[in-house]
Structure formats: C-alpha cells, structure tokens
Amino acid sequence: MNDINQNDNLTPDINFDNPLGRDERGILMAMYGPQPRLGYPTRPLRMSNGCVVEEYVIPDNEREGVLEKLYPFVGRPSLDDEMLDLHSDSVFTVRDFLVIREGTLNFIAAPKYAEAGGTVLDWFPVKADDEEDGEHDDDLEDRGILVADYKLFRSTSSASIAEDGERE
C-alpha cells in the first residue's frame, strides 16, 4: 500500500482527544480558521499516543516558500536557523520542520512532533554567536530560566485542568 495520498477527507476535524499539541492546534485554528489543503501529497504520521495525522511531503526546493506562507509570526527564521522545540527539549534546524494537516488546519511543527507535539508556537530561537561582539553565546543556558518557567507553567496548567476534570 502506498503511504502517500491526496485524499481531502482523511481528517474531518481536529481531534482534541489527541493531547499532543492540543492547545497549540486550538490557538492556530483561532488564528487562521479553516484552510484549504496545500498542493502536496500527504502520508500518515503516527503520534506517540497512537493517533494518526497527515504529514505533507514537501520537496526540499519548496520548503522556504511553504515556511514563508505558513509561518505565523513576524521575523520568519531562515531555513538554516536553529530553534529549540520546548515540547521535546531538543534543538533542530528549521529546514527540518514538518507541515501537518489535521482537520481543516495546515500548520508547521517541529521535527519531533510525533513524539512530543511541538508546533511552531513552541519554537524558541537559538543563536550560536552574539552578533555584536562575536563571542560564543550558549543561548540555551542563558534562556534556561525562561524554558524552565515555560515547562513549569505547562505542567501546572495541565495539572489544574486535570483536577477540574475538564481535560487531562
């Protein structure tokens, strides 16, 4: 069986039962609303929790254009920039991003999306050098407090939601 398809009806709506990236998908849906499919084939991507979503198959020579079209913030990174995925706590090169189709939403995700659920909303820039003085700057160490605060916020907000019984 061929894992690449062009079916327009594979994922009817966002599956909010899928806890990986659930909050981020809701934010992205509020920002963009329903979107038409991109003109690329998709393949199934099995999430670590067993859910299956669609991953677009983007040719290398078109990745920059797709990033430009889907990146939701001002100051789009270059394909060679490094980012920290806050969900997986890993650094990756932007050119390795995934494009996911879930329900009626197309969105950019980190390379470890299937494992940890990190979308573009969870990317944090990493710089190798301080441009002003040329000295090496371990950006992850410098930003460690912010990353730790973010993780604490995520864990406590998830715990409080679970206590209220609304969501896990």
113 band by pLDDT with thresholds 50, 70 and 90: very high
pLDDT at 58 over 60: yes
pLDDT at 68 over 70: yes
Return the sign of the alpha-carbon dihedral for residues 98, 103, 106, 110: negative
**Of 19-23, 110-114, 116-120, highest mean pLDDT:** 110-114
pLDDT single digits (tens) 4-42: 444 444 444 444 455 556 677 788 888 888 899 999 999
**Residue 106, phi then psi, degrees to nearest 5:** -105, 135
Angle of CA points 168, 109, 103, to nearest 5°: 65
pLDDT at 79 over 60: yes
Q: How far is CA 41 from the centre of its chain?
A: 19
Q: Which residue has the higher pLDDT, 114 or 19?
A: 114
Long-range CB contact pairs, 90-93, < 8 A, 24+: 91/126, 91/140
How far is residue 8's CA from residue 54's CA, in Å, rounded to a whole number? 11
Per-residue tokens: 113: 């999306």
Element (H, E) at 42: strand 42-46
Report the greatest alpha carbon distance in the chain: 55
pLDDT at 168 over 90: no
DSSP 101-149: EETTEEEEE-TTHHHH--BGGGEEEE-SB-TTT--B--HHHHTHHHHHH
Per-residue tokens: 159: 């715990």
* Percent of the chain whose predicted confidence (pLDDT) is above 90: 38
